[in-house]
Amino acid sequence: MHATDFIVARNDLQQCKSIETQLPDAAALPADALLVKITRFAFTANNVTYAVMGDALKYWQLFPAPKDFGNIPVWGFGEVIASKHPNVAVGETLFGYFPMATHLVIEAADVSKRGLRDGAAHRQGVAPVYNAYARVSGDPAFTGKQGDYQALLRPLFMLSFLVDDFLAENDFYGARRVMLSSASSKTAYGLAHLVHGRDGIKVIGLTSAPNVAFVKSLGCYDEVVTYDAVTSLPADSPVAYVDMAGSSELRERLHRHFGDQMKYSGRVGLTHRSTSPEEPELPGAKPSWFFAPDHIRKRAKEWGPGGVDTRFGAAWAGFAPKLDQWLTVTEGRGPAAVQQVYLDTLNGRVPPDQGHILSI
Ligand SMILES: NC(=O)c1ccc[n+]([C@@H]2O[C@H](COP(=O)([O-])OP(=O)(O)OC[C@H]3O[C@@H](n4cnc5c(N)ncnc54)[C@H](OP(=O)(O)O)[C@@H]3O)[C@@H](O)[C@H]2O)c1
């Protein structure tokens, strides 16, 4: 029997194809290994960023592909179809990081009631979150539409949660306005939802003209401004900037407009894929990457065991119900559908109210 992988050319992301590979023989799996059938996964601009940063952040290393190609990691669900681990049963559902493929072999390690880890040597050079699988069989929070929301948004909302917490801990660097670029993205509106709930802080969404109506409809932005009109914002009081778009040109325009009133400039995403390799010195706070694993480590220490999970769970419980109005889940099956959604996402053709759940 064959497995199928969807792969992209590392140096030209417009080139992509499905390939057939040999499905590992279940009987010949090594001790503790699981053969997992990948049943459904989400695809958003965040996955394109994994490809853009594939070399720099070692994402290509996770799911090996033929020379010069890469398999983009996705968040989703798999079903164990063969198990050589005594405590993991065939039929179990796992939630975590998968390749765009039909199957994955996991070397199960640190198996607990709630989860396990892939101990494969080639997966160890990345943050632990990328090797962790939650055991979610029968969990209603990971079933049906709720499961789709988890795949589409949970990893993104973790970033939203951490940035909100980081800004609040730093009293928003003295700003009472927070600007978010690519305001229509799921990561941005998750953050807008959280910041909007804080007293005295105004959230300003920066977006492209076609997405203005969607961003306004969310109700978690106090103001929505198109990219070409950002210099119409008053520059006479402190402001913080969280950047999902990653456009160097936009960042420079904002910094020059706000000058010393730009109190925080955090980089999070690259949706516009228009970052210059060399950035000029800019007025205001120095732009810096927000590195989520550092903040999570800090809070895990301060909040103690379960502290991050409990707080994140409470935040998610306030956010997830909004998604019924904000998001329409669209399902795609088979290599052709996967390729179409990949190319549409890569080329910015996915309307922001759509969430794609795929399987090969
Ligand atoms: N650093 C981290 O740990 C971390 C964690 C989570 C997410 N992120 C980043 O946050 C960003 C948002 O991810 P997401 O999955 O939330 O995105 P998403 O929901 O798929 O965002 C879609 C939006 O991004 C913009 N966009 C997407 N593709 C584009 C293209 N080709 N050209 C121009 N604009 C495009 C458009 O927004 P506008 O029209 O509003 O610009 C579009 O509505 C990604 O770069 C992701 O990697 C980073």
**CA 156 to ligand 1 center in whole angstroms:** 10
Cα 188 to averaged position of ligand 1 atoms, centre (Å): 8
pLDDT tens sequence across 235-244: 999 999 999 9
Q: How far is the CA of 191 from the centre of ligand 1 (A)?
A: 13
Judge contact between 164 and 189, C-beta under 8 A: no
In this prediction the pTM is: 0.97
* Ligand 1 atom 2 nearest Cα: 268
Atom number in ligand 1 closest to CA 346: 31
Whose tokens are 């969430």? That residue is: 355
Burial 217-255 (b: 16+ CB within 10 A, else e): ebebbeebbbbeebeebeeeebbbbbbbbbbbebbbbbb
Nearest CA to ligand 1 atom 10: 269
Torsion, Cα of 298, 300, 304, 310 (10° steps): 130
Rg (CA), the chain: 21
Q: What are the pLDDT digits (tens) for 3-40? A: 999 999 999 999 999 999 999 999 999 999 999 999 99
Whether the CB-CB separation of 162 and 191 falls below 8 Å is answered with: no
278 vs 126: CA distance, rounded Å = 26
Q: Which atom of ligand 1 is nearest the CA belonging to 48?
A: 47
Residues with CB under 6 A from ligand 1: 44-46, 49, 156, 159, 182-187, 207-208, 211, 244-245, 268-272, 292, 347-348, 352
Q: Please report the atom of ligand 1 found closest to the CA of residue 292.
A: 3
In order of start, what are the domains of the chain with their CATH numbers?
2-142+328-359 (3.90.180.10), 156-293 (3.40.50.720)
- C-alpha span between 249 and 253 (Å, rounded): 6
Ligand 1 atom showing the smallest separation from residue 268 Cα: 1
* Tens of pLDDT, residue by residue, the chain (360 residues): 899 999 999 999 999 999 999 999 999 999 999 999 999 999 999 999 999 999 999 999 999 999 999 999 999 999 999 999 999 999 999 999 999 999 999 999 999 999 999 999 999 988 889 999 999 999 999 999 999 999 999 999 999 999 999 999 999 999 999 999 999 999 999 999 999 999 999 999 999 999 999 999 999 999 999 999 999 999 999 999 999 999 999 999 999 999 999 999 999 999 999 988 888 999 999 999 999 999 999 999 999 999 999 999 999 999 999 999 999 999 999 999 999 999 999 999 999 999 999 999
